Structure 1
């Protein structure tokens, strides 16, 4: 399975996809007039505005749901593998992917809001499949994306998160994989059957706490090693472009691994963010687009950077040539050749141990358990949303409910398998899922970007007029945004009744 997965992953993650991600981010940065920079004050303001409703969650809960999917094993083990196989310069390219990806995230998440709809339970549903069908008018393409997303988030990607939990707990406490697998599955069962409202509430409670706690503790380690920070920054920048003698041979891998792990971590352009964005109760789609763009910063510039500086400032890493763990050791953080060790949670655990001897493994195990578990929950929500899309035209609601039960069973089995599989197999499968979604979604939003840009200009115009922006798609020439069209009709009808 590992050999097959490796071959497919190399096809999916060809250099074309890496440059497509960078190119799309640069293009949207220009088209939105640097929305990821000029929109930061509004991002923060909108984050704490809005209330949940019977149909949707609040902006903050939607942000937390999105962060639950973004902040996971990729922020710890993913950063470690990027450094191991791409050198310290991979961190720079992770930053670039976040900066450019924030504009991409704005486009896709605004589209998710514009073309959302209510399901049979009265809850908001949306995502790439919905906006591909309604805006691109290609149901076959939408169905392919939905099926790929169910495969990716329901089967291929949960295993990485479960594997991160089991490997970190094994490092910390010597617990075997099977008890961890059983515990994760039992805990997960109580969450996934509760629907979007329970998922939103759970994410809103757990995500902020875990992210802030992890960053603060990581900063303590960095401060203890503050004298190494200037050298770390120099090393990251110089090796990013092959100017560092020890890493010149892997400059291309720095770009590849930085972008690959950056996208896996912040998910910009992958098509996962729009699912959470669509669940939010807002008066204008651009509001949630801005909030979701900021979540890319939180994930990569804050959490991933904390891990990177933690590992690099303490020298707790090893870099290989050829992007292959079996290759020749080039360099480790102490400037010495060393025996290869598995790139993953162990890097961060060793880094913490330099300050709190013996406590690092425990702290990372606990942190990663929260990070990864909330990501698994977010994956399930995305898979269920796309199952709902695929079966929403079924004549009997029982068909959809049956399909969801099958999904839940497969999802739990895949999570358990990931916990006991090798890390290499889990990451290969996850990379395939991420790459397939990114290919399909990036092509789609490059084609149907216009409604998101119109929503941004409309939002800017209303803000300049001192208004709290309210969305009406008809004057903007945006068609098939049926949810918003119905909302405008109800608002006008209520106004006429009142007068």
Structure 2
């Protein structure tokens, strides 16, 4: 069974799917006139400026809380383990292809969010529900695709979004600090339960504080390494670029080994195209779909261009890839190479924090998938089951669960990408409408500033 699941996983995460994911990003980039490059500074201001929140708009959480909830789910073990795996299997140049995937993935993430907000609905509790299942049903008139997405997402939530994460935390703490897996399981279950059982408003408040601290802790550790060893940074970046276009980059059949792993790990890290993050975007308080979409777009930039780059550059600088280490141990060894034992502890703590945040973020995704398939009455039962599964995952061997979840995670992308391509005209229309409003707002701010002076 394990071999069969691995074969299926290799197929669904193979070149056709990866080409479709990146191709969709390229197509949307062209249709939107390279929006992600033109509006990134403005999008970052929207995301991190509380005064820009529209409190009168419908929604459950702020722009910023929607962003951090999505980031909680995406800034996970993929940023530490996934990047290391890409460098080992594809070479240093895989980091370059992660960057390329992210740059086009920003357009994909933007489109997902704009559709999620446009087609969201209000449930029986007065909360917002949205995501691929709703824009597939209401926008594309293909409810059967929405049902498929919800099924795949519901299964992936319990696997990659839950048990696999708690298992990663328990393994890391046991190997680094000899903490029993059952003790880690109990602690995770209690802490996560306190957050998850409170629903999206509770999740939004926690991630708003937790995610920045978590990301800064890991990023600052990497930046210390880069600054202290700045003399070898140019050579490391040069190697990333030169290796990106040589050897395995253009070999290995339809998609070279290096490109394949760079693209695959980039998608695994930022989830652009998978359809998970727009579920959180739909809960945001916003007056225009385009406003929240720009905020959501910054998630890919922060996740891959910043956090994954820290991991990738540090690993290439250390030069330990190919020595038998891979995944998390390679990242730990690379940090320890420059910072001693403290470096390894930074990575271990990073894995714990990142995995915990993924648990919290994916609990909301799974909740919405289950509610779509059944009804809002299942939500309390779902939350309790999700919390219980955290402990089970922490104390079990989950190779088969990981494989099945990995397949479901990939299958989520297919109906979602169909929706993005089929509704790309709606994305363009909503974008033009909002950019016109944004231009007027900018002019009003300029006039107000001039009159104030």
Normalised by the length of structure 1, the TM-score is 0.83
Deviations 1:20-69 (A, max 9, x none): 01111110110000111001122022112205678411111111111111
Q: Equivalent residues in 2 for 1:224-303 (5 A)?
A: 224-243=228-247, 252-303=256-307
Q: CA deviation at 1:114?
A: 0.5
Give the C-alpha shift of residue 107 in structure 1: 0.5
Cα RMSD after superposing both structures: 2.4
Matched, 1:6 2:6: yes
- In the TM superposition, what whole-angstrom CA distance separates every residue of 1:130-183 from its partner, at most 9, and x where no partner exists? 111111112222112112111111334423322332232233212343332232
Partner of 1:322: none
Distance 2:333 2:398 in 1: 18
Whole-Å separation in 2 of the counterparts to 1:151 and 1:281: 28
Distance 2:162 2:115 in 1: 26
Q: How does 1:76-225 map to 2 (within 5 A)?
A: 76-225=80-229
Change (3 A) 1:359 1:464: closer
Distance 1:421 1:255, change over 3 A: farther
- Partner of 1:355: helix, strand, or coil? helix
Deviations 1:93-129 (A, max 9, x none): 1111100000011101100010112222211111111
Of 415, 421, 445, which residue of structure 1 is paired with 2:390? Answer: 415
CA distance in 1, matches of 2:54, 2:421: 32
C-alpha distance in 2, partners of 1:27/1:270? 16
Which whole-Å CA distance do the structure 1 matches of 2:233 and 2:124 have between them? 54
Offset at 1:82? 1.3
Q: Which runs of 5+ in 2 are unaligned?
A: 445-453
- SS of 2:189's equivalent in the other structure is helix
Match of 1:348?
331
Deviations along 1:394-422, one digit per CA (max 9) or x if unpaired, are: xxxxxx43x33443354345434443455
Whether the 8 Å CA contact 2:24–2:108 is kept in 1: the answer is: yes
Matched, 1:443 2:418: yes
SS of alignment partner, residue 359 of structure 1:
helix
- Give the corresponding residue for 1:41: 41
Structure 1 contact 166–176 (Cα < 8 Å) conserved: yes
**Conservation of the 8 A alpha-carbon contact between 1:51 and 1:57:** no
In 1, Cα distance between the equivalents of 2:435 and 2:245? 37
Superposed CA deviations along residues 322-363 of structure 1, whole A, max 9, x for unmatched, are xxxxxxxxxxxxxxxx4x33x222122212222332222322
> Match for residue 50 of structure 1?
53
Write the deviation string for residues 356-411 of structure 1: whole angstroms up to 9, x where unpaired: 3222232222222111111111111001112222223xxxxxxx43x334433543
C-alpha spacing 1:22/1:436, structure 2 compared with 1 (3 Å): same
Report Cα offsets for 1:402-458 as digits up to 9, x if no partner: x33443354345434443455755653442132111112111211122222111001
CA distance in 2, matches of 1:386, 1:378: 13
Find the counterpart in structure 2 of residue 363 from structure 1: 346
User: Which range moved further: 9-18 or 44-53?
Assistant: 44-53
| TM, length-normalised to structure 2 | 0.90
Which structure has greater helix proportion?
Answer: 2
Distance across 1 between alignment mates of 2:256 and 2:397:
27
Deviations 1:295-317 (A, max 9, x none): 10000000000111121111232
CA-CA distance at 1:231 after TM superposition: 2.1
Aligned partners of 2:66 and 2:280 also within 8 Å: yes
Q: How many residues align?
A: 439
Does 2:361 align with 1:378?
yes
For 1:87 and 1:424, how far apart are their aligned partners in 2?
25
More displaced, 447-456 or 99-108?
Answer: 447-456
* Unmatched runs of 5 consecutive residues or more in structure 1: 319-337, 393-399, 470-499
**Residue 435 of structure 2 is aligned to residue 432 of structure 1:** no
* Separation (CA, whole Å) in 2 of partners of 1:377 and 1:391: 22
Please identify, of 346-355 and 406-415, the stretch whose mean Cα deviation from structure 2 is larger. 406-415
**C-alpha distance in structure 1 between counterparts of 2:89 and 2:321, whole Å:** 11
For residues 325-340 of structure 1, what are the structure 2 equivalents within 5 Å?
338=323, 340=324
Work out the CA distance in 1 between the residues paired with 2:370 and 2:398.
28
Out of 390, 393, 404, the residue aligned to residue 373 of structure 2 is 390
Cα distance change, pair 254–27 in 1 and its aligned pair in 2 (3 A) = same
